[in-house]
A and B are shown apart, each in its own frame.
Chain A
């Protein structure tokens, strides 16, 4: 019994290896369905609505890709720990899941250039503080999260006094208590916070983001047709301002990166 099970397992593994085919574009067209990995816990880029569907900016981008290909769309919620494996296994055809551009990631999957989006470092500032430029900080206390790579750079470059706390809840609490003029953190996180009524009233993100960290769409190694197609699609998005439209649709301030890319490619 056990031996039979083991043999069956072995056979499945062997067959599974065979099933990973070479041309994902052809597979997508044959089955009439594009499978895209997106986040389901990153508001507003990918999150659940009460019906259980995954919605947000990235699911909308995925829907656009499926429409261009003339196929149906299936979204697979991924987490950071499994997204690259899913792509390599062929479980998903395309990965649009808030993935930062890192050399070690580029070594195992194919990144689509130019990056479709970019996170950066920004400040969730109290409206009272009246910040209009980074220079306004001028030694003011700035709440931050311990261990963020940019804390020191910002402190030096913009002359701010960093008050660091661990996690993201404690600095936010300190900000609410008025211990600092703003909270220095990832811009996408701040954008998410500003979707809530609790924060919208007294806080804002008045500055341009600094220290951009691009996000990449990825396809599996060797899928050149898919890669070329996605590069063209990304250029189209930048040309017609799709990403800016989606940012506005989901209630966040369009990022400097999106606006700049749109400006650059508008005429082309």
Chain B
């Protein structure tokens, strides 16, 4: 059908597409493949350089794969635990931020701002070197290994960021909800837990997942303080292979790939959820 012959009233309204103010770069599946390809090509070039007696970079990665992946699992474990701990404390902190008592609000504000605006690495150092390696509780020695300290170190910024997410979500619920709840004789606590928070959940989910992604990628910072996570192991593997410079790119590329493969789907899912939960006014 020729659109020119259609009556103008039958045409669907032309919607101006909203252009973002700056060009948006979105990672797509092929970007991951490109990264993988670069790693492989770099490895291939390295094979050409190395002598025939040497293990090729791919061979080196295969040989150390179980160790490196166990390090990666450790990163994931740290990120999950830090996220859990940080979310629980952050939720409390976020609720305190909307408390009706002024001092409680002030305390929450101070704690949130302090931990939100401190470098993650500094907080990690703080946790690493100030928390003792073991402590005695009623005569029993409880060891406090490095990974627990790392979890504490990472949960501090998570806590502060979750607090802001919670506060923001609660504030974004229209006042009408509070007023209607009051009219129906809900107490403040009931309103919060039965009416406001359930509505907040889906608003909080995308930024929360985003934060998780960031925490996962930040866990490699623990290598600076000597936790045996993936990046530490990668550099130790590099040393064990005689520090050959041509192994640098493939080994660290492998670490990069692991994190990409893990974080990319989270990013995609976040975007989909954001799209789905978009606030419609």
Contacts and interface: CB of A to CB of B under 8 A. Distances in A.
Given A15-B137, A18-B136, A77 B228 contact: yes
Contacts of B262: none
A115 B126 CA distance: 34
Contact of B226 (A79, A193, A195, A198): A79
A85 B239 CA distance: 24
B89 A1 contact: yes
B66 to A, nearest CB: 7
Q: Which of A3, A13, A15, A81 has the most CB of B within 10 A?
A: A15
Interface residues of B, number: 41
B27 interface: no
Interface in A12-67: 12-13, 15-19, 40-43, 47-52
A132 B133 CA distance: 52
Contacts of B135: 12, 15-16, 19
Given A5-B89, A48-B236, A198-B50, A90 B63 contact: no
Contacts of A50: 63-64, 66-67
B141 interface: yes
A146 interface: no
Contacts of A78: 226
Contact of B70 (A12, A52, A85): A52
B215 interface: no
Contacts of B51: 197-198
A106 interface: no
Residue with the greatest number of chain A CB neighbours at <10 A, chosen from B89, B131, B141, B242: B242
Q: How large is the interface on A (under 10, 10 to 19, 20 to 34, 35 or more residues)?
A: 35 or more
A252 B236 CA distance: 20
Q: Chain B interface mostly helix, strand, loop or mixed?
A: helix
Interface in A64-115: 77-79, 81-82, 85, 89-91
B134 interface: yes
Given A16-B134, A48-B67, A196 B242 contact: yes
Nearest to A18: B136
B240 A85 contact: no
A195 B134 contact: no
A241 interface: no
B235 interface: yes
B53 interface: yes
B240 A91 contact: no
Nearest to A197: B53
Contacts of B111: 2
Contacts of A19: 132, 134-136, 141
Given A15-B137, A18-B136, A82 B226 contact: yes
A196 B89 CA distance: 51
Contact of B131 (A2, A12, A41, A82): A12
Contacts of A9: 131
Contact of B130 (A13, A40, A77, A197): A13
A31 to B, nearest CB: 9
B45 to A, nearest CB: 16
A209 interface: no
B239 A17 contact: no
B130 A82 contact: no
A198 B67 contact: no
Contacts of B136: 15, 18-19
B239 A41 contact: yes
Nearest to A3: B107
A2 B110 CA distance: 11
A15 B96 CA distance: 30
Given A1-B96, A50-B64, A197-B54, 6 more contacts: A2-B92, A19-B134, A42-B239, A192-B242, A196-B244, A197-B51
Interface of A: 1-3, 5, 9, 12-13, 15-19, 40-43, 47-52, 77-79, 81-82, 85, 89-91, 169, 192-193, 195-198
25 contacts: A2-B93, A2-B108, A2-B111, A3-B107, A9-B131, A15-B136, A15-B137, A16-B133, A17-B132, A19-B132, A40-B228, A41-B239, A42-B239, A43-B240, A43-B242, A49-B240, A50-B66, A81-B226, A82-B225, A91-B133, A196-B54, A196-B242, A197-B53, A198-B53, A198-B54
7 interchain residue pairs of minimum CB distance: A16-B132, A41-B239, A15-B135, A91-B133, A197-B53, A47-B240, A1-B92
